[in-house]
Amino acid sequence: MPSIGCCGIFADEFQLKNLKLKMAPEELAAFGDSAMIGNKNFSYYRAVIAVYIVALFFWSTGENIEAGTYAWWWCYLTHWTLTMEAAYLILAAVVSFQMDKIRAGITDKKAEYADPPKLVLVTWVLMNVVYCNTFLVFLMYWLLVYDGDTNAVSVQVHGVNFLLMAVDIFLSGAPLRVLHLWVPMLYGTAYLLFNYFYYLGGGGDSAGDPYIYSTMDWGNAYGTALFWGLVLPYVLLPLFHTLLWFWWLLGNYASKEDASWRASLLESLDDTTAV
């Protein structure tokens, strides 16, 4: 991101080219790095939280298998997002550990925008899905679903996992673009369609209710279900994505993670190559 004033930052951010999943060479050079704690520490951090989230995934599924409710585990947005988060963190850790190799593969250091390597692209897409959807799951659970009864797994899949993503956003050198809000919106749309067609097919929850979430009871409260079905993916997810972009900007400011830092990564690559 250019090191310019607020108006310049917004003008640069809202260029239509930022709708695409392309990035500048200096952005690719910084993708798995962190100006605040350095690539090595960031790689180990991501590896640790990847192990934690994968363990949480198996803990959650294991409890449901034991309780005989595993068939319904995959119906919840919480668990869709936990699965995406585990995949993201595994790939993000791999990318961070592979940054020297990724930088070495940058051939045109003066290109404006280019397609990133497939591993980086998939990680970037998952990043856009996971960041704001963990925020959505966190807020919606505690505001709409929580009934006073919870357990250790629920607290972690509806809170701790988002806090870890908030730290990841703050530390990461990967570009987060406002105009990529279409990525989490597509994910939200996919879940909305699943939820609705699951109901049409006679699906419900493990307690025998004809819905997954009571706020989306298509049979008995269609208006309310439609309201939340439209608000969640088309209002809240874009809003949360934008709020997290500001949080990412704050992390950039705090760590001096700007265009000059990203450019220095390319320059250091040239120096290494020369040696």
> What are the pLDDT digits (tens) for 71-93?
999 999 999 999 999 999 999 99
**Predicted local distance difference test score (pLDDT) of residue 108:** 80
**Rounded Cα–Cα distance for residues 161 and 216 (Å):** 24
Mean pLDDT for the stretch of residues 249-275:
66
- 106-140 b/e with 16+ CB inside 10 Å = b? beebeeeeeebbeebeebbbbbbbbbbbbbbbbeb
Which of the two residues, 158 and 258, has the higher pLDDT score?
A: 158
CB 103 within 8 A of CB 29: yes
Calpha distance 128→180 (Å, rounded): 7
Q: Which residue type, as a one-letter code, is found at position 46?
A: R
Q: Any residues with CB less than 8 A from the CB of 99 and at least 6 apart, and which? A: 29, 31, 32, 33, 39, 43
How much is the pLDDT for 144? 86
> Which structure tokens are listed for 14?
């809202």
Q: What is the maximum alpha-carbon separation in the chain?
A: 70
pLDDT in tens, 139-154: 999 998 888 888 999 9
Using one digit for the tens of pLDDT, what is the confidence trace for 216-235?
999 999 999 999 999 999 99
pLDDT for 197 equals: 98
Quote the pLDDT of residue 272.
47
Alpha helices in 68-179 (DSSP H): 70-73, 77-97, 99-104, 118-140, 152-155, 161-171
Q: What is the pLDDT of residue 268?
A: 63
Q: Which residue has the higher pLDDT, 111 or 162?
A: 162
Token pair belonging to 236: 């809240």
Closest by Cα among 35, 45, 28 to 121? 28
- Segment 62-76 shows an average pLDDT of 96
Q: Name the average pLDDT for the chain.
A: 91
The span from the CA of 199 to the CA of 216, in Å, is 10
The stretches of 141-236 forming alpha helices (DSSP H) are 152-155, 161-171, 182-200, 222-231
Give this prediction's pTM: 0.91
Phi, psi values for residue 114, rounded to 5°: -150, 160
Average pLDDT, integer, range 230-244? 97
Tens digit of each residue's pLDDT (9 = 90 or more) over 44-61:
999 999 999 999 999 999
pLDDT at 121 over 90: yes
Query: How many angstroms separate the CA atoms of 22 and 242, rounded?
Result: 19
Q: Please say whether the beta carbons of 241 and 178 come within 8 A.
A: yes
What's the chain's Rg over C-alpha atoms? 20
Query: What pLDDT, on a 0 to 100 scale, did the predictor assign at position 107?
Result: 82
